[in-house]
Structure 1
């Protein structure tokens, strides 16, 4: 199999959430449309009742022979029926306008889903294919936009500009991230209206996820009323939003722990914010807002199947994991000592690796090293040696990178490993053609070189 052949399951692993947002949006629009239709045109709707009433009155009026004998000849009844019909027509016009809006939104969501399917289906079979660079550029632009949208407002604007210039607007969920940013801004400013509105729109899905977010929000609202010492309002709020039955529903059946937390919070009616009791100080702590913000963000991302870290970081970390060594990112001393004490049933002991960072290593010499602590060390059956002179991978017994040799110092007994071809190149650049160790400056004879085998 060619090394350039692409495996769709592996290449598209990071793009599995690309279709989640438009599909969820289509599902939500379908439910909204269905509920709106049933409410306005269903068998139990006001429109249907008015229609049945008009038809009944018309049938009665047409079969009655006494209407002509009335003083007004049935004019009052006809006026009432006409008024009812006009109201029905007004409702129908409003319903038609709303259904047209929902239809347009569904068409837009369908177009987005179709565009994303086309993008994923356009993955070439090989990285050598003519269309792969353009496909990879579009994917990289998508990952950069995702990274920008998770950052500060200026970068969010950059994401919109990048998406427009690269023609990937349909791949980027700008509205989704704006919705998240709006709710997060409200939480940072101590407001709960935005996040409660979002919870109301997604209550069914949150129950399926067994999320306790809504309970946490209502509890925080109650705490803020206690902080303001609006005790009557706090009691009323608890009765309305945090009754035992409601708590059980909001915590998806696991309401025991939530009831314990609520019982403890009820004591805030007697304890003011300046209390010295640690338990109630923690309930009044501003840090609860930070925890609520983190809880909401994780719930929002989980609901939309969005990863908690940027797609760009995930792509970079996949490459970093194949390059990272203890030289690039040293093991913590605590982890080292723990590993060395491991028994036969645990992982083998890890020993400190000798060496220094290389300018040729992207982990050692670039900002990518900041992502290295988050990924595991690479595992190789055989070591890979790169000559610091030629910059080529040395195969050991010759080949493209050359033969692997070592120069052993006669003074210290320590040695450094290079490729034979790299040393020959360095010697050819020396005025006297001497073989000089590039790091120590020590002069060697050619017969001093020791052949090294990779293990």
Structure 2
């Protein structure tokens, strides 16, 4: 039985409260805009004192109609948005409060909470992968619909799919709804979307509509994005790279020096189809930031955190995963924006004093007590993360799997292998399970960790 580290476990649960809170703030701002718009429309009617009875009666009827329309809009907003969010927020608060009352891991409530959290994380991971139907079925079967954000992820995926179809309309509409928040975080998403629409007009040869579009939507960004603005305007003089790769395709009015600039990466990049992928990723990151969703899946973050905590430089020393088992194309891994090199397994035996560097007579086998030493299991994923920085070493007996400490000190043979004292006693003699070396128990020496 061990105590529950509440603070460390709740690090991954911040979004559980922040997401519905941010959604409620957005609903409040929507209601505020509706009120301000109608109140501003009432002002001219109330200030005009020269109306006759018929005009006054007509203005009153107009105000009543506006008020009834405003009432319907606010009622729909409260019923369809505010009430579900309030219910979700209460359920999530109750879920976190139940966990804070758990003190030990032996408590049955702790196991239930961990199972619920795993189901939530699985649903979150499915939603990020775009498997909305499976996520809904899992949430319904476990009764955790109010603890996950299916509708929010579905909306983000809908806009992402529109960008994958090379359409910016949905994303621009989303930017218009959240323009105040985007301005606060100084996001470039709207500019990139407007720039992409301008590029598509130029690609289609619609120069006049492109210039009109630029005057209407891009000139406001000139001071903050001067370099990109100039490069975009330069595209009006050239065709798409696929048509200008050959020297004869460059217009005669353009000098060879200027025409050659089309092949520069700065201009070719604007015409590249990869910009749509960049826009999709930028939108996703921006949407996660505005809605307080984690940038990465909590399931993957916790998995990598556990792998880092368990991984030791000696892990995977007994072998590497099969070539086809590696799930990554390169020797690096990026975790929350930080790139780590894939560590190289250490050779066996380890470098140490001469009397310890004895070549074993049998090939070493994986440590059965280490989950990362399985080359076909977690050992495959362990290649993706760095080793943990263990300030205090812990020795585990190779035979019994028990932790060695002062009450159960390790004993070392002259070939350098350390064994637990209880496991080493065997009729006055001990036999090394790795090298096969046999020696009297009196030759064993206690090992002290420095």
Question: Per the shorter chain, which TM-score range?
Answer: 0.7 to 0.9
Which of 224, 249, 253 is the aligned partner of 2:200?
A: 224
Kindly indicate whether residue 122 of structure 2 is the aligned counterpart of residue 144 of structure 1: yes
CA distance in 2, matches of 1:96, 1:48: 18
Change (3 A) 1:163 1:437: same
Distance 1:152-1:364 versus aligned 2 partners, 3 A rule? farther
Tell me how many residue pairs correspond in the alignment: 386
- Counterparts of 1:54 and 1:100, CA distance in 2: 33
Give the alignment of 1:243-322 within 5 angstroms: 243=219, 245-248=220-223, 255=224, 258-273=225-240, 274-276=243-245, 277-278=263-264, 279-322=266-309
Q: How does 1:355-434 map to 2 (within 5 A)?
A: 355=349, 357-365=366-374, 367-372=377-382, 375-395=385-405, 397-399=406-408, 403-408=409-414, 414-424=415-425
Q: CA deviation at 1:445?
A: 4.0
**Cα distance, 1:219 vs. partner?**
0.9
1:126 counterpart SS class:
coil
State the match for 1:106 in structure 2. 82
Consecutive unaligned residues in structure 2, runs of 5 or more:
246-262, 318-330, 332-343, 350-363
What 5-or-longer segments of structure 1 have no aligned partner?
Answer: 59-76, 249-254, 336-349, 409-413
Q: Kindly indicate whether the alpha-carbon contact (under 8 Å) linking 2:23 and 2:85 is maintained by their aligned counterparts in 1.
A: yes
Q: Can you list the C-alpha shifts for 1:379-417, whole angstroms capped at 9, x where unaligned?
A: 33332122222122222x443xxx422334xxxxx4322
Higher relative contact order structure (alpha carbons within 8 Å, sequence separation ≥ 6)? 2
Following superposition, the deviation at residue 280 of structure 1 comes to 2.0
Equivalent residue, structure 1, for 2:448: 453
Supply the distance in 2 between the matched residues of 1:315 and 1:445 (Cα, whole angstroms): 47
Measured on the aligned residues, the alpha-carbon RMSD in Å equals: 3.1
Offset at residue 109 of structure 1 (A): 1.5
For residues 394-443 of structure 1, give each alpha carbon's deviation from its aligned partner in whole angstroms, at most 9, with x where no partner exists: 22x443xxx422334xxxxx43222233345xx69xxxx98443223444
1:132 is aligned to 110
Deviation at residue 99 of structure 1 after TM alignment: 1.6
Answer whether contact 1:145 1:162 (CA < 8 A) is retained. yes
For 2:47 and 2:37, locate their aligned partners in 1 and report how far apart those are by CA, in whole Å. 16
Q: d(CA) in 1 for partners of 2:123 and 2:92?
A: 15
Aligned to 1:12: 10
| Residue 49 of structure 1: how far off its partner (Å) | 4.8
TM-score normalized with structure 1 length: 0.76
- Cα gap change, 1:152/1:33 in structure 2, threshold over 3 Å: closer, same or farther? closer
Q: Matched residues in 1 for 2:50 and 2:386: separation?
A: 74
Instruction: Tell me the equivalent position of 2:325.
Output: none
> Post-superposition shift, 1:362?
1.7
Query: Offset of 1:53 from its aligned partner?
Result: 7.0
* Separation in structure 2 between the aligned mates of residue 24 and residue 15 of structure 1, nearest angstrom: 15
Change (3 A) 1:5 1:381: same
Q: Distance in 1 between matches of 2:280 and 2:400?
A: 52
SS at the partner of 1:295? helix
CA distance in 1, matches of 2:221, 2:188: 12
Alignment correspondent of 1:97: 72
Larger Rg: 1
**Partner of 2:170: helix, strand, or coil?**
helix
> What SS is found at the alignment partner of 1:12?
helix
Question: So what's the TM-score if we normalise by structure 2?
Answer: 0.76
Contact 2:102 2:109 in 1 (8 A): no
Task: Report matched runs for 1:322-341 at 5 Å.
Answer: 322-328=309-315
The worse-fitting range, judged by mean Cα deviation, of 300-309 and 87-96 is 87-96
Deviation digits for residues 182-241 of structure 1 (CA, Å, limit 9, x no counterpart): 111112221111211111111110100011111111111111111111111211111111
1:236-269 deviations in Å (ceiling 9; x for gaps): 11111100x3444xxxxxx0xx111110121111
- What secondary structure does 1:309 align onto? coil
Q: CA separation in 1, counterparts of 2:183 and 2:316? A: 43
